A and B are shown apart, each in its own frame.
Chain A
């Protein structure tokens, strides 16, 4: 069974950074892209970027360049996202999601709430 388990909720101060994790199981991590997405309360879903589990090659939505940095640890089948210089606009739920062949997301983590205050 494919599972994506995200780390717990974060409360961080403005200007600080936070590192979120997404531990996977049930599939070959190095064969897929992992994406990260942002959802502010009651709002739209935004794609931040994705990273290939095999070689760590990453691509970003222009809007999030400089804000988010994606990495992977193949040995533990875990994806990470660093968010830097946090402001209130970064308060949101962040999801990791496995990217399928045509770009859809077939498996999602449970989401993690990041509060900047």
Chain B
């Protein structure tokens, strides 16, 4: 299975820019997607196919990358962005998720 590696946690202050990385163990073309999950809630799609903003998602969120290295950027960060962020690949079978990056807003 394709393993997606994310850093476990980050802490930033409101108004700053934060980049969350996701590295795949093998190429996934541009079939990388990003989700935000708050405690007790279902995940919410933020970015699909590496760099496309999902409907209703603020333009503060953006995505980049291809192949094996991908980045989700939030600029500027707001207090409400406290959550865990997951990457997901759908190029290789089975589709897999990263272990998540917990973002803390100082």
Contact = CB atoms under 8 A, between A and B. Distances in A.
A86 to B, nearest CB: 22
Interface in A34-84: 43-47, 61-63
Nearest to B31: A102
A109 B42 contact: yes
B97 A103 contact: no
Interface string A83-108: 00000000000010100101111101
A51 to B, nearest CB: 15
Given A45-B43, A62-B94, A95-B42, A104 B99 contact: no
Contacts, number: 52
Contact of A106 (B45, B88, B90, B94): B45
B64 interface: no
Interface of A: 43-47, 61-63, 95, 97, 100, 102-106, 108-111
Given A47-B94, A103-B31, 19 more contacts: A44-B97, A44-B98, A45-B88, A47-B97, A61-B94, A62-B94, A95-B43, A97-B42, A102-B49, A103-B90, A104-B45, A104-B48, A105-B33, A105-B43, A105-B45, A106-B55, A109-B42, A110-B42, A111-B42
